[in-house]
Amino acid sequence: MANLKLDLVNKLNNDKFYEELELIRLAQEPSMNYREKIELMQEQLATLALLNAEIGLVEEYFREPAPAAAPAPAQADQQEPVPAPAPAPAEPKAKVHQGQSHGEG
């Protein structure tokens, strides 16, 4: 199935490339009627949007399966001990200087 997905995405990307070239050609065409140019460019953009959506759907429907994690050997008599969490570091006491009523923290 990977070759099918790859071939389909390649075809869609090729079609998209040629549609983009046509859009650029239309934009740079000096002798075309302006209204006609706008309408043709709009059609090209609709085609490009459809191709982008198709590429996204191919990626969505033909996802590669996530690699399965290797199952750990289950042996009841050989369990590894779970380490205890490390104690939190003690906060240093605020130093009280002469003339202060409390420490600054």
42 inside domain: yes
Decide if 23 contacts 42 (C-beta within 8 A). Answer: no
76 inside domain: no
97 inside domain: no
Question: Which domain, by its residues, includes 32?
Answer: 2-61
Q: Which whole number is the average pLDDT over 76-93?
A: 61
Structure tokens at 96: 């009280």
**Higher per-residue pLDDT: 89 or 42:** 42
53 inside domain: yes
11 inside domain: yes
Q: What is d(CA 12, CA 36) in angstroms, rounded to the nearest whole number?
A: 27
Query: Which pLDDT belongs to residue 63?
Result: 84
**Structure confidence by residue, pLDDT tens digits, 36-65:** 999 999 999 999 999 999 999 999 998 877
Read off the pTM: 0.58
38 inside domain: yes
Number of independent structural domains in the chain: 1
What is the gyration radius of the CA atoms in the chain, in angstroms?
Answer: 33
Structure tokens at 2: 């990977």
28 inside domain: yes
